[in-house]
Each structure stands twice: as C-alpha cells, then as structure tokens.
Amino acid sequence: LPPPAPRKRIITPATLCRLCGGIAAILVLLFGIARLTAPQQAERPLPQWAAAIPGNEKTSISTDGGHRLTLEEKQLSVVGNRLVNTTGDGKKEVAISLPQDRRQLIKLIVPAGGEHRLTLEDGTTIHVNAASELLFPAHFEAHARRVKLCGEAYFDVAPDKAKPFVVQLDDALAIEVTGTAFNVKTYPEEHETAITLTEGSITVRKEKQPLATLLPGQRFTYRHATGEHTVTSADLAADTDWTNDEFIFCNETIDHIMRKISRWYNVDITVSDDISHIRYTGILSRKQPLAETLETLRMTNELDFHLHGEKKIDVREKENEH
C-alpha cells in the first residue's frame, strides 16, 4: 500500500490568518488559553519559564583577547573608538572603549531567547536573531567591509561602491554587496543556508567562484550535504517573519517549527518521530508567552506538550479522549 499523504493543518493566533503565497483567508478559531497539563492528570500551574514574555536573554561581546562583556541593552553601535550600548528609545547608554588595534575582531553573541541590533561604523545595520554569532571588526579595512555570521541576521547595508560589503559564511560561502537589504539563515542544525534578497542585488560566491546573483524577491538555498544550490521566488513575509515579531509557517513540518520555537524561547524540545512529518501553515506572534504558542498548536487536536523541569518539552501525538 502507498504511504498515507502528509497531514496538513492551518494554525492561527487569533481570528485572522494570511496564508503563504499571497492567498488571504479568514479563519475563526474560538478558544480560551488553557493550562498545559499531561493527559489524565490534575491541572497544575505552569512553570514560570513557560509563562514569561520571550526575547529577554542578554547578548554579550568578546574580543580576540578573550575578554567577554554582557550587554544590558539590545542595541549596539560603533561610534568612533567606542561601542555604545543603548535602549531602543536612546534614553540609556553605556560606552565601551574599542581596542586600538584596527585588525582586532569583536564577536557579538546572541543566545537562544534573545535578539540584538548592531550599527557598524559605516551606518550598516544588522538585526541578529536568537542563537547567532556575528564577528565584526572595530574598524573596516581600506578596501572591504567584512563580517562573519553563524545563525540568522537581517542586513541593511550602507551603499559604498568603492568598498564592497562581504558576509562570510561556513562552507566557504560568501555574500558580496555594495548596498542592499537581505536575510541570511545559516543555522548548522538546519543543514542548509537560505539567503533572501529584499532590496538591491547580491552575489553569492563559494571561495572565488560566483554561484548566483540575486534580484529582489529571490531566495538562494545551499544544501551543505550535497553542495547543490537553487534560486527560487521567495515568500518575503515568511523568510523575514522574525524581524516583524512573527512566526510564519508555510506548509512546514512540526519538527522544523519546533526548532524555531526552541531557539526563540530558549527551551529544549523533542518531537516524537511518529508526528514529525505533520505540516502546518499559519502565523503566531513571537511576543506572546510560550504557553500561549503551545496552546494554539495544541488546539489542532493532533499535538500534546509535556513540560518538564529545566526547560524541556516533549511533543507527542494527542491521545484520543473518550
């Protein structure tokens, strides 16, 4: 017998859900946010980490000399010979002296459960997502602007035709631009690198060989295991969802969805093999507590979540209730 067709479901955080590919739909889902409990067990309070507002884990920086410093605020700027750490409204700032050696690199370390915005000396802004690291110089070289990324970030590069901006990735991949905006997702556990261009033009290279030149609205995908790459039309809303405080799922497996949720809420999530293939489409807010996100998914009547101490969650198929 042929294997059963993959199950697909639509999820929504409230009453409106726009579907991927530009199709609009209104889905009415009436429910209250309930406590998450194990089946056939008495209701018990949620752990504090499941009810907390996400995104508050603190970023840190380290230098070649091994010095590490925790940043109290979520915005960092290179200003002359200082790093300035500020609040979003600019009302609070802390200045950090930069090393005198222009060649010394600084590593921005954004943990799971955090995010950070960095402004470089040329005016380029970089929004760095959770569980990511960005290596950047205190001051750029004379003929190039170079940074290195592991994880995910959205770049808005200041134009400078005389000094290209280069983002170095693993597997000898590099992105070269002079002024443009794009998203890069290159988490090791995803086994592929995805680059989505929103404005301008970029060239993706492997070592010195050009692989592709992208136009706005295109997505470059590189598969690490095979070295194969493709260029396709992008769903810009889905590929840059995190920059708008959303999760947008477009026919994605629950296994892939849980990896995103795990990084953002800084929890360890294990998905049972028998449901890892189930696919969902919809939108969830990244600003709501983890408990509300899980409860929305639980209302599909296919999933159940078992919360344990030390921020661990098991995702299993929901048992039939009689």
**pLDDT for position 284:** 95
Read off the pLDDT band of 181 (50, 70, 90).
very high
**pLDDT for position 130:** 98
| Average pLDDT value over all residues in the chain | 85
**Residue labelled with tokens 């290279």:** 205
Mean pLDDT of 192-213: 96
**pLDDT for position 76:** 94
Read off the pLDDT band of 263 (50, 70, 90).
very high
The domains found in the chain, sorted by start residue, are 8-52+258-317 (3.55.50), 60-239 (2.60.120.1440)
Read off the pLDDT band of 12 (50, 70, 90).
very low
**pLDDT for position 17:** 37
Read off the pLDDT band of 117 (50, 70, 90).
very high
Mean pLDDT of 198-207: 96
* Whole-angstrom distance, CA of residue 181 vs CA of residue 21: 21
Read off the pLDDT band of 273 (50, 70, 90).
very high
Read off the pLDDT band of 156 (50, 70, 90).
very high
Tokens representing 291 are 């408990």
Could you give the percent of the chain with pLDDT greater than 90?
A: 68
**Choice between 105 and 40, residue whose per-residue pLDDT is larger:** 105
- pLDDT tens-digit readout, 287-320: 999 999 999 999 888 899 999 888 999 999 988 6
Cα angle 205, 212, 129 (rounded to 5 degrees) comes to 70
pLDDT for 80 beyond 90: no
Could you give the percent of the chain with pLDDT greater than 70?
A: 82
**pLDDT for position 100:** 67
Beta carbons of 284 and 239 less than 8 angstroms apart: no
Beta carbons of 278 and 9 less than 8 angstroms apart: yes
Read off the pLDDT band of 97 (50, 70, 90).
confident
